[in-house]
Amino acid sequence: MSTHTLKITSQVRAVALALVAIPILFVAIAAVQARIDALSGSVTQQKEELLLRSGPMLEKLSLGYGPLLADIYWTRAVQYFGNHMERRSHSFELLAPLLDIATTLDPKLVIAYRFGAVFLAERPPGGAGRPDFAVDLVKKGIASNRDVWQLNYDLGLLYYMRLKDYRKASEAFLDGSKNPAAPAELMKIMAARVAENGESLETSRLVWAELYNSTKDESVRQRALFHVQALDAQMALKKLNDNSEEYWKKFGRFPTSIQELRDAGLVQGDLKDPAGYPYVMGPNGVPQLDPHSPVPVELNQQKP
């Protein structure tokens, strides 16, 4: 048999396979859709009918029609979510699998990652109440869409608002700021504010300092300097407060002045804030800024 004949035979087999596999796949999808619409039966039965969610299997059966099938599954995920919202159901068992199917078939389907994460993360009755699933979905999106900085932004918000993991939230914003298409200054500002609210002052200080050194916008530069100075003062006051606690343990009373800390050998140097004002000792041995100092120290209490 000639090479040309073999090539034709191979093509015929591929077409035949497509003609057989595609109808089968659509029938399977129709069965899943019918199951979703019915919203009846056990969770076990529902999961069994979603065995096609296997990534490798779906990719093989799609035969190049992945994006088309992804749109179908994304539509079904939206319909499924909407139906459950109308019924005020707190169970969204098929939501994550449907989203996984859609994004496996088309890894570039950004809308499924972004809105799907919202559906998953919202607390019942407004969503599935599974921010952990939402994080996994967005991470999957980031891995396949490195150029879409919005996914890093979404990941940062998930960690910050839903999981209260301020360190990971800050890291997500910072990672997104490295994308050439991203508003880097905004992302860095978000990273810094999240770190502040998460009580990670050192991380926040580094972020603001990086922004101060990298920006060409003078107003942003001044705002960054403002935050750097405030955080420097806050960290200094925290250290002085620790020194005051040590003084209490040693002498059985709190110091009444910064000089007493010096005399006890617990601190050294001028101990001035970034604006040049000496720190002072407040009531109960709590160090404070000089009342005339322009440096703010409660920045970490502001909400982003």
Q: Are residues 246 and 160 in the same domain?
A: no
pLDDT tens digits for 5-60?
444 444 434 434 433 444 444 445 555 555 545 544 444 444 444 444 555 566 66
Grouping H, G, I as helix, E, B as strand and the rest as coil, residue 281 is strand
Q: Are residues 25 and 135 in the same domain?
A: yes
DSSP letter at 158 equals I
pLDDT tens digits for 78-134?
998 888 787 777 678 889 999 998 999 899 999 999 999 999 998 887 889 999 999
pLDDT band at 61 (very low <50, low <70, confident <90, very high): low
Q: Among 92-96, 195-199, 268-272, where is mean pLDDT lowest?
A: 195-199
> How many structural domains compose the chain?
3
Strand 287-288, strand 280-281: pairing: antiparallel
pLDDT band at 2 (very low <50, low <70, confident <90, very high): low
Q: Are residues 260 and 197 in the same domain?
A: no
The residue among 96, 116, 145 that closes a domain is 145
Residue 241: what pLDDT?
95
Contacts of range 16-24, beta carbons closer than 8 Å, 24 or more positions apart: 17/63, 18/63, 21/61, 21/63, 22/61, 22/63, 22/65, 24/61
In a domain, 84, yes or no: yes
Between vectors from CA 231 to CA 226 and to CA 235, what angle results, nearest 5°?
155
Q: Are residues 72 and 102 in the same domain?
A: yes
Q: Are residues 121 and 136 in the same domain?
A: yes
E strands of the chain, at which residues? 280-281, 287-288
pLDDT tens digits for 284-302?
999 999 999 999 865 443 3
Q: Are residues 138 and 161 in the same domain?
A: no
Q: Are residues 141 and 154 in the same domain?
A: no
Domain with 201, as residue range(s), is 150-215
Average pLDDT score, the chain: 80
The residue among 128, 145, 162 that closes a domain is 145
Q: What percent of the chain has pLDDT over 90?
A: 46
